[in-house]
Amino acid sequence: MPLLSRPRVGALLALILLLPAGAGAGAATLQEKIQNSQKKLEHIHENLGQVQAHLAAGQKTQAQLRVEISALDQRVVATQKKLAGIQQQQHSAQAQLAELRVKINALQAELSQQKGILARQLRGAYMLGGVTPLAVWLQTERPGELGRMSVFYESLARARSALIVKTQGTAQQIRKTRHEVQIHETHLAQLAQQVSAQEQTLRQQREAHAALENQLAARIAADKTKIAELQANANILNGLVSRLTVQFRHQEEVARAKAAAEARRKAAAAARRAAAISAQRAAVAQHHLAQERQAEQQAQRVQETERARQVQRAANAQKQPPTTVVRPPVIVATPAPALPATPIVGRGSYPAPVTGPVTARFGAPRVTGGLDWQGITFQAPVGTKVRAIAPGMVLYAGPLRGYGQIVIVQIAHSLLSIYGHLGATDVHVGEQVSTGRQVGSVGSGGELGNDGLYFEMRNAGHPVNPLDYIHN
């Protein structure tokens, strides 16, 4: 159902304020004007309680999400510290790898040098051929050189053996260093994979929480806008009640003025007729005896005096306003908390509109938040007859956003009774209703939560406690 824009609401209020309140308009004119504006009020229908409950749930979820985001931020800080440690380990491992690679290069250079020396020794041994030290000793012509050759071959054999052992050790150290390099490289790869996985997890969690928070913020902003519109609708109802009250009061004053003028006109006509009768009787009495004429004139004067008193009493009775007892509004200093369903305990003289327990009291805060209750609610089944608490004239009967079908009855000079959340209305604007007259039937659900009747009393346009006017 589309909502009314601000210009359309302003035009509607201007239309209500321009309704004429002339002396000759009467209840029929008021009924016609209100019925013409009724169609413009059909779209002013929303449930303030449900929207406020939705807003409260969203704010609660947002608070929980903020707690989770705070915990996530702490985890992010801890993870960042851990990542910094892992990165430091990476730098240290990379430095160790660089040192190991330098060491491998030095060992490979030394191994190449050792292989060159060993190759030259083997080449020298090959050049000597298959001559053994004994053969050299038997073939030599100079036995003195035999000792030197023996020492040379022994030294050469020892050097060759030592070089072979050193070369083997260098090759083994190179293999060991390469194994260490491989281990460090594997560890670095694992650290890099761990860092990447943690960074990806944190990024996904941040994106998910940010998206959820944005959605909640948008929903809460929409709920706040809706609540502002619904509160404006409640103000529209207050303006309508005030306007109807002023207009009805003006019509009463015009009606009283017309009645007083008519009474004065009738009194003057009666006086003229009495004077004419007196003159006629006086003319006839002139033919009678003087004593009879005097007696008749005396009786006539007495009769005229009595009639004048009656006319004066009738005129005074017409000038007096209707006597209807109106209790003063009760100012609630502090809104009372919402009470469970209890029997009606009223202090007034009017009967209750329905029979049932009271589920919300005047001035109590609503469970869903927002405006306090300006009336009371009766728990009653759907279809229960709703009856007028006092005689009066129907000022409004139809839908109003946030209140369902409502009926407003003027029951005194400045006293209104409002019956809300009706399923159907059984009266029309301008109709005079009596005490106990059915004005509608109980509706279902809505802001009340359970099936029941919403009932308000207003004195001079201000909400007052209905329990000061009704009794159980």
The pLDDT assigned to 39 comes to 62
Q: Which residues of 77-106 are buried (b: 16+ CB within 10 A; e: fewer)?
A: eebeeebeebeeeeeebeeeeeeeeeebee
Q: What is the mean pLDDT of residues 420-445?
A: 93
Structure tokens at 199: 């960074």
365 φ/ψ sector (left φ>0, alpha ψ -120 to 50, else beta): beta
Q: What is the mean pLDDT of residues 346-354?
A: 88
User: Rounded to whole angstroms, how far apart are CA atoms 4 and 70?
Assistant: 41
Lookup result for tokens 């009704």 = 470
Handedness of CA 331, 336, 339, 342 (dihedral sign): negative
- Largest Cα span, the chain: 221
* Count of CB atoms situated within 10 Å of the CB of 211: 10
User: Rounded to whole angstroms, how far apart are CA atoms 130 and 441?
Assistant: 133
The pLDDT assigned to 469 comes to 93
| pLDDT above 90 coverage of the chain, percent | 18
User: Rounded to whole angstroms, how far apart are CA atoms 207 and 227?
Assistant: 30
Q: What is the mean pLDDT of residues 155-172?
A: 84
- Which tens digits make up the pLDDT trace of 85-133? 877 887 887 887 788 788 888 888 888 887 888 788 777 767 765 555 5
- Which tens digits make up the pLDDT trace of 357-386? 988 888 877 766 666 788 999 999 999 999
Reported confidence tier of residue 350, pLDDT bands at 50, 70, 90: very high
Highest mean pLDDT among 10-19, 146-155, 173-182, 441-450: 173-182
The pLDDT assigned to 305 comes to 60
Residue 456, pLDDT > 90, answer: yes
Q: Supply φ then ψ for residue 215, to 5 degrees.
A: -60, -45
Structure tokens at 361: 């009291």
Q: Supply φ then ψ for residue 196, to 5 degrees.
A: -65, -45
In this structure, the dihedral spanned by the alpha carbons of residues 452, 457, 462 and 463, taken in order and rounded to 10 degrees, is -40
Q: What is the mean pLDDT of residues 178-192?
A: 85
Structure tokens at 66: 């903020």
User: Rounded to whole angstroms, how far apart are CA atoms 34 and 81?
Assistant: 72
CATH 2.30.230 fits 60-220, yes or no: no
Structure tokens at 446: 């809505």
User: Rounded to whole angstroms, how far apart are CA atoms 234 and 454?
Assistant: 14
Structure tokens at 147: 């000792």
Residue 160, pLDDT > 50, answer: yes
Q: What is the mean pLDDT of residues 388-413?
A: 92
Give the residue, 284 or 239, on which the prediction is more confident. Answer: 239
User: Rounded to whole angstroms, how far apart are CA atoms 294 and 145?
Assistant: 206
Structure tokens at 28: 């029929």
Enclosing H/E stretch for 462: strand 462-464
User: Rounded to whole angstroms, how far apart are CA atoms 165 and 125?
Assistant: 18
Pairing of strands 452-459, 432-433: unpaired
**Which of 159-163, 274-278, 322-326, 382-386 is predicted least confidently?**
322-326
Q: Which amino acid, residue 390?
A: A
- Give 361-382 as a DSSP string: -TTPBPTT-SSBPSSEEEE--T
Q: Which amino acid, residue 135?
A: A
Reported confidence tier of residue 453, pLDDT bands at 50, 70, 90: very high
- Helix (H, G, I), strand (E, B), or coil: what is residue 393? strand
Structure tokens at 394: 């129907």
Residue 391, pLDDT > 80, answer: yes
CA neighbor of 455 nearest in space, from 400, 401, 416, 426: 416
- The secondary structure of the chain in percent helix, strand, coil, rounded to multiples of 5, reads 60, 15, 25
Structure tokens at 447: 């802001």
Give the residue, 314 or 407, on which the prediction is more confident. Answer: 407
Give the residue, 3 or 271, on which the prediction is more confident. Answer: 271
User: Rounded to whole angstroms, how far apart are CA atoms 418 and 399?
Assistant: 13
The pLDDT assigned to 16 comes to 46
**Which of 135-144, 227-236, 241-250 is predicted least confidently?**
135-144
Residue 170, pLDDT > 90, answer: no
Pairing of strands 376-379, 358-360: antiparallel
* Cβ atoms of 41 and 400 closer than 8 Å: yes
- Which tens digits make up the pLDDT trace of 25-78? 455 566 666 666 666 666 566 666 676 777 778 777 778 878 887 887 888 788
- Helix (H, G, I), strand (E, B), or coil: what is residue 387? strand
Reported confidence tier of residue 451, pLDDT bands at 50, 70, 90: confident
Mean pLDDT (the chain, rounded): 76
CA neighbor of 457 nearest in space, from 235, 241, 244, 234: 241
In this structure, the dihedral spanned by the alpha carbons of residues 462, 463, 469 and 472, taken in order and rounded to 10 degrees, is 170
- Which tens digits make up the pLDDT trace of 302-342? 665 665 555 455 444 443 433 333 333 332 333 334 444 44
The pLDDT assigned to 145 comes to 66
Task: State the CATH class of domain 324-472.
Answer: mainly beta
CA-angle at 12, arms to 11 and 18, nearest 5°: 90
Q: What is the mean pLDDT of residues 413-425?
A: 93
